[in-house]
Amino acid sequence: MALDPESEDTHTYPLDDDILIPFPPCSCVSIPGREQSFLHCGEFIVLREHLAIDADVDGESVTLHAKVGLILRITSIGNHRRIFISLLLLASEFPTAIIRQEAAPPDRRQYVEYPQHVVMSNITKWFSATQILSEAFVFTAQDLDDGTAAYAVGMDNAFHARYKWEKDATICYPITGPDQATLDYFPFDDKR
């Protein structure tokens, strides 16, 4: 199915679909009000307004809200930029207790505080670039536990993700293991 950048509809794709892999950073979009700050494909954003998504989670009808997204595509239509993003949903709204519960800090690191919990999803949507509030920093719990992620206490645009959720299959996957323990960050080949 061809992507229509003028579409206002939400869509879902299998979590392993190529459509959910961000394009290389060949184009960028500026953050409204901060025109010298640019975002590229593969970076996370905070949306200006929450987007409500009606869903069936474990047989229960719920309305989930997306506040964060991963930029997958950027395109121009006339003088305007459109961004195609994969939505991250607020974990606190899931009816599944294991997803809602807070992460516990590891032993001997009780000072670790986790930023707001979000769930990665296979829900996508085109947005106007004017809907970007700011860049977002999304870490896994493991990134925070082992100290490889920045300390995010007090940051409004910091989040952590412990699960991936596939809407149509209503399946939740924990983000664990050596190959999934961290999220891809921009730029993807930066191994510093």
Q: What is the pLDDT of residues 42-75, one digit of tens each?
A: 899 999 999 998 888 777 788 999 999 999 999 8
pLDDT bin (cut points 50, 70, 90) of residue 192 is very low
Residues 171-191 have a mean pLDDT of 50
When the candidates are 3.40.80.10, 2.30.30.490, 3.40.50.300, 3.20.20.80, the CATH number that belongs to 10-170 is: 2.30.30.490
More confident residue, 69 or 5: 69
Parse the chain into domains and list their residue ranges.
Answer: 10-170
pTM across the whole model: 0.75
Q: Distance of CA 186 to CAs 19, 20, 22, 94, 175, Å?
A: 17, 15, 10, 28, 19
- Counting residues of the chain whose pLDDT is more than 70, the rounded percentage is 72
